[in-house]
C-alpha cells in the first residue's frame, strides 16, 4: 500500500517566520523588535454534579490574551515616550493600543491584538550582548488572519 503525501496541498513558501515578520503598534511600524509572542486562553469551569465522579461538562467562564515583546534598546528612544509603555502618571487616563504582527511579502496581518495594555517593562544588559527591553501586555482580544477571535 502506497503512503500518501501528508503535505499534499500545502503551498510552499507560505511559512510565517521571524525573518518576514514585523510589528505595527497604533499604525506605526516598530523598528528593532527582536520577538513577539502572544497567547489566548479560555478558562473552562467544570460542572460537577452529585452522584457522578466525572465532570458533567465544562463551561467557558473567561477569555484572556497575554503576550510579550522584545525590543533592542536604543539610547534616547524611550518606550514610555513612544507610548508603548504607559508612564505611571498617565495610567488612569491611558487609552488602549492596537498591535499587529504582519507578514512582509504580502503585508498581511497575521495576528491583531486589540485593546492592548502593557503590564510590565523590564530590561537586560550584559557584557558582549545587545541591551534588550521586554514588555508584557494584556489585550481584550486576538484575531488571526481570518479576522476571527
What pLDDT does 57 receive? Answer: 97
Q: Residue 149 domain-assigned?
A: no
Query: Would you say residue 86 lies in a domain?
Result: yes
Residues 138-146, mean pLDDT to the nearest whole number: 97
Domain that holds residue 56: 32-144
Burial class (CB in 10 A: 0-12, 13-18, 19+), 113: buried
Q: How confident is the model over 2-25, as pLDDT tens digits?
A: 567 888 888 888 888 999 999 999
Mean pLDDT to the nearest integer, 66-86 = 93
Quote the mean pLDDT of the chain.
Answer: 93
Number of domains the chain is built from: 1
In a domain, 58, yes or no: yes
CATH code for the domain in which residue 42 is found: 2.40.30
In a domain, 22, yes or no: no
Residue 7 lies in a domain: no
Residue 115, domain member (yes or no): yes
Q: What is the pTM of this model?
A: 0.88
Percent of the chain with pLDDT over 70: 98
Is residue 12 in a domain?
no
Nearest to 38 by CA among 146, 147, 139, 149: 139
Q: What percent of the chain has pLDDT over 90?
A: 83
Does the pLDDT at position 1 exceed 60?
Answer: no
Q: Report the alpha-carbon distance of residue 57 to residue 47 in Å, rounded.
A: 5
In a domain, 64, yes or no: yes
Amino acid at each position: 500500500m502506497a503512503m500518501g503525501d501528508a503535505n499534499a496541498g500545502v503551498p510552499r513558501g507560505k511559512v510565517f517566520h521571524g525573518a518576514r515578520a514585523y510589528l505595527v503598534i497604533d499604525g506605526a511600524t516598530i523598528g528593532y523588535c527582536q520577538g513577539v509572542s502572544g497567547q489566548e486562553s479560555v478558562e473552562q469551569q467544570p460542572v460537577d454534579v452529585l452522584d457522578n465522579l466525572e465532570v458533567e461538562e465544562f463551561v467557558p467562564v473567561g477569555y484572556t490574551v497575554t503576550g510579550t515583546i522584545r525590543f533592542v534598546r536604543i539610547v534616547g528612544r524611550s518606550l514610555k515616550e513612544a507610548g508603548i509603555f504607559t508612564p505611571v502618571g498617565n495610567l488612569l487616563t491611558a487609552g488602549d493600543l492596537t498591535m499587529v504582527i504582519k507578514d512582509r511579502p504580502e503585508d498581511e496581518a497575521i495576528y491583531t491584538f486589540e485593546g492592548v495594555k502593557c503590564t510590565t517593562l523590564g530590561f537586560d544588559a550584559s557584557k558582549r550582548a545587545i541591551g534588550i527591553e521586554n514588555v508584557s501586555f494584556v489585550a481584550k482580544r486576538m484575531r488571526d488572519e481570518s479576522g476571527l477571535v
